[in-house]
Amino acid sequence: MNKKVALITGVTGQDGSYLAEFLLKKGYEVHGIKRRSSLFNTDRIDHLYQDPHVDNRNFILHYGDLTDSTSLTRIVQKVQPDEIYNLAAQSHVGVSFEEPEYTANADGIGTLRLLEAIRILGLEKKTRFYQASTSELYGLVQEIPQKETTPFYPRSPYAVAKLYAYWITVNYREAYGMYACNGVLFNHESPVRGETFVTRKITRAISRIALGLQECLYLGNMSALRDWGHAKDYVEMQWLMLQQDQAEDFVIATGVQYSVRQFVEMSAKELGVTLAFEGEAEAEVGRVVKVEPVNGEVLAKCKVGDVIVRVDPRYYRPTEVETLLGDPTKAKEKLGWEPKITLPELVAEMVKSDYTSAKRDSLVKLAGFQAYDHYE
């Protein structure tokens, strides 16, 4: 039997890397679109890299950009994919307030460009299309928990761009009979989550603070509530959605909610540090109240009384999404899907990974080299 061929946009991102690995294990020939950058941007997929000089490769990268329809159409024509996973996006909600036009172009019109490429090339009956939709569509929530029928109320340029992408995907399904669907995914994280999203920013900073490489973690709204899952669980769902008899949209979530503050506490606890929060609003701080060994080893150098978390209003958003909680019942019933990894397990995995990197940086520093850092 011929191998199935998949094309992933955003293959260099968190989900793209997990999905590429997943599809390769399933025996797919996987093509990925990466954009040109002045530095290497393939860290997350370097373990999958195959030398272009050998024959019979099953993981192939192409230069392209969601803002450039010529590149997209050319790649779709060349690859003739059975499945396209559109994961590429300017995916940072906070940054979308700084770059609204670019975000609309890449995240909104970019989706249209891909759908049009499929149509122009006459691949409507061959190529199945997955759109990375988001719980940010619910924004100012109209119902708790949120499910497939909950009305949308986007609260950022990112979410508004993704709203266009959501509906253009539905429209091409209805207008042209394409197999095109939306996965409305709630937040999902992993050790390779981008460093400026709040979970990774926390696990990375807590690890560096524990080893004396950083003094304080500055955050915005710590009361925000999110439904956090593991990226590894969620990419399986993206694939499952394209294997059905009929294209449908699904909410993917864990159904459990935590605050950003709780995420900080859980991360610190992994390294034996107990935090207590005091003060209101911008004056809120997280203070160390206990330091204990973990499995007989003291991992954190912090002292009782140290303030290691503070609020910086720079990280507040002009319009915030305060609470998100998903109801994944439809996915469970129709696709037999359930998340396998809990938030405490996810936190433990992320802290372990970031603590290991921080240890490496502290050895570099001990050897007399400069260890650069970015706190964003």
CB nearer ligand GDR, residue 17 or residue 221: 221
Residue 232 in the binding site for ligand NDP (CB under 6 A): no
Question: Under a CB-based contact definition with an 8 Å cutoff, are residues 307 and 216 in contact?
Answer: yes
- Can 166 be counted among the known catalytic residues? no
- Can 116 be counted among the known catalytic residues? no
* Closest residue by Cα to residue 30 from 68, 70, 90, 87: 87
- Binding window for ligand NDP (CB under 6 A); candidates: 63-71, 294-302, 309-317, 350-358: 63-71
The interface partner of residue 41, options being ligand NDP, ligand GDR, none and the CB cut-off 5 to 8 Å by kind, is ligand NDP
Residue 323 in the binding site for ligand NDP (CB under 6 A): no
Question: Under a CB-based contact definition with an 8 Å cutoff, are residues 164 and 108 in contact?
Answer: yes
Residue 13 in the binding site for ligand NDP (CB under 6 A): yes
Contacting positions for ligand GDR (CB under 6 A)? 91, 93-94, 134-136, 186-187, 196-199, 201, 219-221, 224, 226, 260, 315, 317, 320-321
Residue 325 in the binding site for ligand NDP (CB under 6 A): no
What is the closest distance, in whole angstroms, from the C-beta atom of residue 74 to ligand GDR in the complex? 27
CB nearer ligand GDR, residue 45 or residue 217: 217
What is the closest distance, in whole angstroms, from the C-beta atom of residue 29 to ligand GDR in the complex? 28
- Can 49 be counted among the known catalytic residues? no
Q: Which of 21, 29, 136, 189 is catalytic?
A: 136
Site string for ligand NDP, 182-221 (x = CB under 6 A): ---x-xx-----x---------------------------
- Binding window for ligand NDP (CB under 6 A); candidates: 50-58, 64-72, 199-207, 364-372: 64-72
Counting residues that bind ligand NDP (by CB under 6 A) gives: 26
Residue 69 in the binding site for ligand NDP (CB under 6 A): no
Q: Which of residues 100-159 bind ligand NDP (CB under 6 A)?
A: 106, 132, 134
CB nearer ligand GDR, residue 31 or residue 261: 261
* Binding positions for ligand NDP, rule: CB under 6 A: 9-10, 12-16, 33, 35, 37, 41, 65-67, 87-91, 106, 132, 134, 185, 187-188, 194
Catalytic site residues? 134, 136, 158
